[in-house]
Copies of this chain bind each other. A is one copy, B any other.
Amino acid sequence: MLSFENDYSRAAHPAILDALARINDNLYPGYGSDPICESAKCKIRTACGKPDADVWFLVGGTQTNQVVIDAITPAYAGVVTVSSGHPNVHEAGAIEYSGHKVLTLPHHDGKMDADELDEYCATFYADDNHEHMVFPGCVYVSISTEYGTMYTKAELERLAEVAHRYDMPLFVDGARLGYGLTATGCDVTLPELADICDVFYIGGTKVGAMFGEAVVFTKRNTPKHFLTIIKQHGALLAKGFLLGVQFDTLFTDDLYFRIARNANEQADRIRKALRDKGYTLTFDAPTNQIFITLDQSTIDRLEQHVRLGFMEKADDTHTVMRICTSWATTDEETDALIALL
């Protein structure tokens, strides 16, 4: 059965399994203090155009959001996200578990608006009672967003400008960073992103790795004793070299972005077919996630042959479904899906 259910349903890109096999007779010290991690970090720094960026490897996305947000947000403050943001909706309260409120702004196709952020903060500080409220302490956005949409470079710059004006770091969740940065029409590069934001991560789990998210602090701004903070959150992988070998592979010969681009190309083909066949796309998104609003009979017909993702009920008779391509999606799979539409 065909599956376009999500982008984390295959173990890993074969090059990663190969690399793993190659190092399997070696012995490495633990917790990331090994030469492969160092090599991977160098390659990431180079890709970011930031020789002094500080790179850390964590295992998964919710974990990374929890650890980073907790580490960069003052105890008396919360994280500002859009209402559809992953930490607000799909992390089982991991942020609140770490003691911080998630402060929400409306989303616009999954995106945060810098003016609304500005107004939120201005209103907060203008309130005589704001010391009885939760301070906005950092800004969280994701690339790409929950709905597959992308920020422009100007939008990101504006978000950073507002965030910094209110003394907040801008944190970019890059669980799907590869798909975002290689999307048709994307006008921001990895080095530019590294310049704009204060900390971001390069998602491996959804882009070719078995698991792993590479956190990059871009401005000599790593929280003090970050390793201890990671450990305290139960997030320090004993065999850190497993993370190193995966990112070392992904950042060799541009593999990370090459395979990410594949997902977008397959998605572009599917989007074209959908439009040609008269489907209405729920969002105007250029990345590997395509949302379409379907009636139940169409869903029933499609689901006999292909697994799709459920998004939400649109109304009594329609449902928003997700078609998700991945680094591993083949032309044949895409052809087969298009034939079904």
Name A residues whose Cβ lies closer than 8 Å to a Cβ of B: 3, 5-6, 8-12, 14, 17, 20-21, 23-31, 59-67, 70-71, 74-76, 78, 89-94, 96-97, 99-102, 127-129, 131-135, 205-206, 210-211, 224-225, 227-229, 231-239, 241-242, 245, 310, 312
State the CA gap A133–B90 with chains docked (Å): 5
Contact yes or no, B21 A17, CB < 8 A: yes
Min CB distance, A94 to chain B, in Å? 5
Q: Which of B91, B101, B231 contacts A102 (CB 8 A)?
A: B101
State the CA gap A206–B31 with chains docked (Å): 13
B residues less than 8 Å from A63 (CB atoms)? 234-235
Given the interface pairs A59-B237, A93-B232, A228-B92, the reply to whether A12 lies near B24 with Cβ below 8 Å is: yes
Contact yes or no, A76 B92, CB < 8 A: yes
B residues less than 8 Å from A14 (CB atoms)? 24
Contact yes or no, B92 A231, CB < 8 A: yes
Min CB distance, A334 to chain B, in Å? 14
For this complex, 25 residue pairs linking A to B, each with C-beta atoms less than 8 Å apart, are A3-B27, A9-B27, A10-B26, A10-B28, A11-B245, A12-B24, A17-B24, A62-B236, A65-B234, A75-B75, A75-B229, A78-B96, A90-B132, A91-B234, A92-B133, A92-B228, A92-B229, A93-B232, A94-B234, A97-B99, A131-B227, A133-B228, A135-B225, A135-B228, A234-B235
B residues less than 8 Å from A11 (CB atoms)? 20, 23-24, 26, 239, 241-242, 245
Min CB distance, A173 to chain B, in Å? 13
Contact yes or no, A242 B30, CB < 8 A: no
Contact yes or no, A232 B94, CB < 8 A: yes
Q: Which of B64, B94, B224, B245 contacts A233 (CB 8 A)?
A: B94
Contact yes or no, A232 B76, CB < 8 A: yes
B residues less than 8 Å from A89 (CB atoms)? 133
Q: Which of B74, B134, B224 contacts A224 (CB 8 A)?
A: B74
State the CA gap A6–B29 with chains docked (Å): 8
Min CB distance, A82 to chain B, in Å? 15
State the CA gap A5–B242 with chains docked (Å): 18
Interface centre among A29, A66, A70, A76 (most CB of B within 10 A): A76
Which residue of chain B has its CB nearest to the CB of A127? B312
Other than the given A92-B228, A93-B99, 11 more pairs (CB < 8 A) read A5-B29, A10-B26, A10-B27, A10-B28, A59-B59, A76-B228, A76-B229, A90-B133, A135-B225, A205-B239, A234-B235
Contact yes or no, B74 A225, CB < 8 A: yes
State the CA gap A242–B101 with chains docked (Å): 31
Interface centre among A65, A129, A227 (most CB of B within 10 A): A129
Contact yes or no, B232 A92, CB < 8 A: yes
Which residue of chain B has its CB nearest to the CB of A241? B11
State the CA gap A94–B134 with chains docked (Å): 9
